[in-house]
A and B are shown apart, each in its own frame.
Chain A
Amino acid sequence: MKLLGKVLSVALLSVSATAALAQQEANKLRWASTQAITAPDPYYNFHREAMLLNGQLVWDTLVYRNPNDGTYEPLLATEWEWKDDTTLQFKLRQDVKFHDGKPLTSADVVYTYNYIANPDNKINVQSNVNWIDRAEAQDDYTVTLHLKAPFPPALEYISTLHAILPEGFYGEAQAANVDGGLIGTGPYVFAEFVPGSSMKVTKFDGYFADSPKGLPKLDEIEFRTIPEASTQLAELMSGGVDWIWYVPSDQAAPLANRDGLVVDPAETMRITFLSYNMREMEGGNPLTDKRVREAIAYAIDRETIVSRIVGAGSTAIDAPCFRTQFGCRDDLTKRGYDPEKAKALLAEAGWDGSVTLSLVGNAIRDRAWIEAVAGYLAAVGINTDVQLLQWAALQERVAGNTVHLSMADWGSYGVNDVSALLNNFFTLTPDDMARDQELSDALIAATKTVDQDARKKSYDFAVSRIVDELYWQPMWTNPATYAYDADLAFTPFPDENPRFFLVGWND
């Protein structure tokens, strides 16, 4: 089905398109994505699409993270201060109004934080909030946030994921009221929501002028779920939508040749890595021999896979993290493509090819990526049994110790701190295939202090350890390929967050 789909996509691309309708005149942006928005609020969603639309168009965060340099700027809060390692105090702007005209006060901020921090309210991603103890108001415009323990990346989460809702937002029913209740302070006003299908927001005329997000440039933004990539292309080419993303790399090139469309492959913070299982397995585990792990690292030509398969926007990496993340470093052992060295290491380790290694990957990624890896391994005499699994099933295999190699990726939720990445995989959780106590201790220690030097030191150790001991083979950064109307002024950022509040039509 996939092959036929690709052939047809090329056919789609080769026919002449009708001119795209001038959405520019209507000053409206229509974008589509594969995932559906299931709930119209920022906390009960499962997909980036929903979180982005709701979290940053309709609502604002206390602090704004500048996407260009990662610095924090005032948004709903004019200033903030760490009172101690677990107490953060915010002063709020006094001129912010919600879409219904009600002014923003401490009560709204306190309500939001106390609601999301309460596990009984079952917000979806608990690790985004489970470090918060409670919030309390000092006065109408001063709020104190108490953390359960020191949590250094707190501002990363506060500035990107914690949308401030009006007091009583979820009501008794613990569900957002779609009919007139979806009120925020953001640059766009919630207008319409069809579960699983579409959502519309319109310009908020009362948005505060000096917001770092800028005044809204569009009159309306409409989102639609279109699960099939070929249908998205057809919509883009027939003028049905103005913007799509994650265009498959094989379709990106021919699409780029079309007039009136821009194809923009951009690097993201999401990294792909190969994890080695370090645990004893039933029937033995050859990967406990470091030479075998090293051989695997030398056997794979990541540069070629990146240039030929993963495509533009991707870079081969040697570090187990994204370069801009706090705690990431690049001065590490590099293991470039050297099949002869791989073979020598395997011979030294007494490898006779009698064992077939299980290699699992995430079914939503391109099959060609993992097959290329399997191909390189086969070339040095390592046979693999490749299986593409749904993420949940993949995690179960990893936790159940029934897999040798796992090729996965992680986007860190766009959080510019390695704690959002490495702490999920190396702190002796069921997903931890390395089970290294010392490494786990270092990673946990780095999240227990706000002393940046001490944190840096812990991460320096952790990152080197992962590379030196070969717990992971870092592979490449994942690209996100955007395709959109050439008249749209759009800038991609590595955190896979298309900031539509910055988007407008060119004059």
Chain B
Amino acid sequence: MLAYVLKRLGLGILVMLAVSTIVFTLTNVAADPARTIAGEGATAADVEAARIAYGFDRPIPVRYAEWLANVAQGDLGTSYRQRRPVADVVAERLPVTLALGLAAFALALALSLPLGLLAGLRENTWVDRLALVFALVGQAMPTFWFALLGMVIFVVKLGWLPASGSDTWRHFVLPSVVLAYYATPTLMRLTRAGVIEVMKSDYIRTARAKGLRPGKVVLKHAMRNAILPLVSVAAVQLGFMLGGSIVVETIFAMRGLGYLAWESITFSDLPVIQAVVLLIAGIYVLLTLGADILNAWLDPRLRMG
């Protein structure tokens, strides 16, 4: 098991390295960072001044090697835009995204697991149909639209919730629901499919034949196998949420990682873009690893093979 984990971890580091190389190259090539930094009102002379001041006149490989060496020593650099250490900039955005991501993920699971289970157990009944329609609407409705709809009803009309910001728990309600609803359909359908498949298997028939109570059959025997495929997908969904949803964070003006990524990209704040991408890649690598371990624990065949 340890060798398995170490191997996956090594692969993860390689993935992060590859991602950082690609991002560094693309952000430098896609637009001239000196022009973006000099700003919209910049003259040609301002742009040249920025180019020299920030060292963009040097070749990309040289700058990349320098950046990598610094990161290896734990120095993520200084934000061009905020003139503060990148680590501070990212660290102060992390709590909002973590809170939003975890709340949305918990909500998505709390919705999708029982709904999926119910739909799977009552396949082709009105309960199943209703759950599927719920999923279909969630999948079809763009996140920003749902967000604005929520705002019309709960902010402008009812005045129950604030429209923007991330100061109190009330600020997290609407964004969490919006983000959760985005993830719910996939999780629900997977649970439903898993339950339908498992309930037809021989060992469930055996369990029933033994006279076990239906609740025990479902929860102890069926669920454990039904959620196997769900674990990997849920890890990816959680990764997406913890990476910060650009759309949700921007609409609700929440100071999270997604919004930071968007701000940094529009401004060519390269050190921050690099750090955010590295962090998100790291989150994905760890979550995928976690999912693999969890799956191996749930299904012994995986760790034997």
Contacts and interface: CB of A to CB of B under 8 A. Distances in A.
Interface of A: 1, 4-5, 8-9, 11-12, 15-18, 36, 38-39, 44, 46, 119, 122, 124-127, 130, 175, 194-197, 224-228, 230-231, 234-235, 237-238, 240, 390-393, 395-396, 399, 410-411, 413, 424, 429-431
Contacts of A429: 43-45
16 contacts: A8-B145, A18-B159, A119-B49, A122-B53, A175-B83, A196-B82, A196-B255, A196-B259, A197-B253, A228-B250, A238-B163, A395-B35, A395-B47, A396-B35, A429-B45, A430-B44
Contact of A234 (B53, B152, B255): B152
A238 B156 contact: yes
Given A196-B255, A390-B31, A392-B31, A234 B45 contact: no
A16 B92 CA distance: 37
B55 to A, nearest CB: 12
A440 to B, nearest CB: 13
Contact of A195 (B53, B92, B148, B157): B92
A391 B145 CA distance: 28
Contact of A12 (B41, B148, B250): B148
Contacts of A424: 43
Given A39-B82, A228-B251, A424-B43, A16 B164 contact: no
Given A195-B89, A225-B253, A12 B45 contact: no
Nearest to A225: B253
A224 B266 CA distance: 19
Contacts of B92: 195
B32 A396 contact: yes
A431 B82 CA distance: 28
Nearest to A195: B82
B152 A38 contact: no
B162 interface: yes
Interface in B1-51: 31-32, 35-36, 38-47, 49
Interface residues of B, number: 50
Contacts of B255: 194, 196-197
Given A12-B151, A46-B39, A231 B46 contact: no
B31 A240 contact: no
Contacts of A226: 164, 253
B142 interface: yes
Contacts of A11: 152
B81 A38 contact: yes
Nearest 7 A-B pairs (CB), nearest first?
A392-B35, A18-B159, A429-B44, A234-B163, A392-B36, A226-B253, A8-B148
A228 B163 CA distance: 11
B142 A227 contact: no
B6 to A, nearest CB: 39
Interface string B150-167: 011001111100111100
B123 interface: no
B96 to A, nearest CB: 10
Nearest to A411: B41
B154 to A, nearest CB: 10
Given A126-B45, A238-B156, A392-B32, 17 more contacts: A4-B144, A5-B148, A12-B156, A16-B157, A39-B83, A195-B84, A196-B259, A226-B164, A226-B253, A227-B259, A227-B262, A231-B151, A231-B253, A234-B164, A235-B163, A399-B44, A429-B43
Nearest to A46: B39
B282 to A, nearest CB: 22
Nearest to B52: A119
A217 B40 CA distance: 33
A425 B179 CA distance: 46
Contacts of B156: 12, 15, 17-18, 234, 237-238
B164 A240 contact: yes
B83 A44 contact: yes
A326 to B, nearest CB: 19
Given A195-B84, A238-B156, A127 B144 contact: no
A330 B169 CA distance: 57
B251 to A, nearest CB: 5
B175 to A, nearest CB: 11
A226 B165 CA distance: 8
A238 B268 CA distance: 34
B38 to A, nearest CB: 8
A471 B49 CA distance: 28
Contact of B41 (A5, A16, A413): A413
B144 A1 contact: yes
Contacts of B262: 227
Contacts of A15: 152, 156-157
B163 to A, nearest CB: 4
Contacts of A230: 148, 151, 251
Most buried by A among B82, B259, B267: B82
A5 B74 CA distance: 42
B42 A4 contact: no
Contacts of A9: 148
